[in-house]
Structure 1
Amino acid sequence: MNPINGVKALLHRVGFAMRESGQALERVGCRLQGIYSFEEKLSRHSSVLPMRYEVPSVAKSAWVAPSGMLSGNVSIGENSSVWYGAIVRGDFQPVTVGANSNIQDAAYVGAASEFSPPVVIGDNVSVGHGAVVKGCTIGDNVLVGINAVISENVEVQSGAVVAAGAYVEEGAIVPSGEVWAGNPAKKLRDVREGEVEYLKSLPGRYTELAGEHKGVMKVLSLKQREYYS
């Protein structure tokens, strides 16, 4: 094992032991005070999970749904959002998501193995519900449709559209301003003039919606604190 990783592993184990000891002391103290709220069954699900000594980085203005999951070397940019049931895994290779982008419900983003290239998603990108994005590069102002699959070493250039249900084969290049569809995906047509503005405006709608969900979750969190205090 790399000496640095060995030290990190040791610190992790010591930290874990200290936390568990502290929690045990807190429970004893609560019992002595007659406070039994700690016995309530609460979900220990965490939206942000360290993996292989890497901790996800989430901008303060970004939002991750409670049932969303980030793990490992993941970076989420300003005003971006990861929605319910979506998974962004940076355990094998880094995943970088730019600003004002959204990873919608039940989507998967990550590398297939340690031999995969990193995932890079630009600004103002919408990754649709149930889409799979593996080891590829996606430019700015791109729409990846519902249940689309983008394989490794694919480049989706800025302003392109991958249609719903499309399968983009490994190593393909989706040129800027084109709509690709089918299995395997091929050029269907050029992006129409009105669609260009839609591609730019769609992420903004998700940013606003994420703000609403974030506000509701904050209120619920405050109510829970009041209940257990």
Structure 2
Amino acid sequence: MALNPFNLLKTLAWRTTFAIRESGQALERLGCQMQGIYSHEEIINRHTPISPIKYDAPQISNSSFVAPSGLVLGKVSLGEGASIWYNAVVRGDYGTVTIGKNSNIQDSAYVGACSEFSPSVVIGENVSVGHGAVLKGCTIGSNTLIGMNTVISEGVQVGASSIIAAGAYIEENTVVPPNEVWAGSPAKKLRDLKASEKDYLRSLPERYRELSGQHKEIMELLELKQQEYAC
């Protein structure tokens, strides 16, 4: 079967431009070594963490933090002090995603919709979404903790000041009342929230806000450093 000449030209152009880019970067590294500049040894992420889709661009507060390897895409709104951590994905391509003040989406979590028929995602203020959690078309009340590797299905409503235990699976259209702890697969009420846990839920997001500020400062310094060497 003969190869399409147009596809052959596209392949040749791609490989040629790829070789040029890699050669340029190799020369830059060599030049930096010869000058005694070692910025090339730092990991420079080419990934674009904040990206529009079609006509929809994320609305990001100046005080929020998006890690270089995270992704915030499309119709997403991040409130003051909100943070999206490393390898976390927040997708507003199908429906809108609203994340409130001081809420944090931790490493490798996914927040978004599964299709154009999915409900919007609304995450209140001071919410902590644990590592590897999956939130699809749901509403999460303020001052809530979503444990690591939890899966929350479409149409779920989690009340304020609640804890969803690590590894829990909440079935579609489930309503979790406020001030409760849920666990299991499928998740069920475990018990009422303790007074000490309410204090913890209020303090956890502030710790993440402080930590995100430190990471943000580091990223800004690295960017300035790279710009300086590029001049």
Do they superpose with TM above 0.5? yes
Give the whole-Å Cα distance in 1 for the aligned partners of 2:165 and 2:86: 22
Q: In the alignment, what sits opposite 1:198?
A: 200
Q: In the alignment, what sits opposite 2:186?
A: 184
Q: How far has the Cα of 1:40 moved from its partner?
A: 5.0
Partner SS for 2:116: coil
Per-residue CA shift, 1:84-105, capped at 9, x if unaligned?
Answer: 0000000000000000000000
Q: Which of residues 37, 41, 60 in structure 1 aligns to 2:62? A: 60
Q: In the alignment, what sits opposite 1:226?
A: 228
Q: Which amino acid aligns with 2:104?
A: N
Q: Which amino acid aligns with 1:146?
A: M
CA RMSD of aligned residues (A): 1.6
Give the whole-Å Cα distance in 1 for the aligned partners of 2:101 and 2:206: 10
Q: Show the 5 A alignment for 1:116-131.
A: 116-131=118-133
Counterpart check, 1:172 vs 2:174: yes
Give the whole-Å Cα distance in 2 for the aligned partners of 1:52 and 1:155: 29
Q: Show the 5 A alignment for 1:49-198.
A: 49-198=51-200
Partner SS for 2:154: coil
Q: In the alignment, what sits opposite 2:210?
A: 208
Give the whole-Å Cα distance in 2 for the aligned partners of 1:213 and 1:67: 13
Give the whole-Å Cα distance in 2 for the aligned partners of 1:154 and 1:226: 48
Per-residue CA shift, 1:32-72, capped at 9, x if unaligned?
Answer: xxxx78x7596431001111210001000000000000111
Partner SS for 2:212: helix
**Higher Cα radius of gyration:** 2
Give the whole-Å Cα distance in 1 for the aligned partners of 2:46 and 2:222: 16
Q: Which amino acid aligns with 1:213?
A: H
Give the whole-Å Cα distance in 1 for the aligned partners of 2:168 and 2:157: 15
Native 8 Å contact 2:45 2:68 kept in 1: no
Native 8 Å contact 2:49 2:70 kept in 1: yes
Give the whole-Å Cα distance in 2 for the aligned partners of 1:111 and 1:56: 15
Q: TM-score with structure 1 length normalisation? A: 0.82
Is there any run of 5+ residues in structure 1 with no aligned partner, and where? 1-35
Partner SS for 1:211: helix
Q: Which amino acid aligns with 2:82?
A: S
Q: Which runs of 4+ in 1 moved over 6 A?
A: none
Q: In the alignment, what sits opposite 1:46?
A: 48
Give the whole-Å Cα distance in 1 for the aligned partners of 2:195 and 2:66: 32
Name the CA shift for 1:197/1:75 in 2 (closer, same or farther; >3 Å).
same
Percent identity, aligned pairs only, is 59
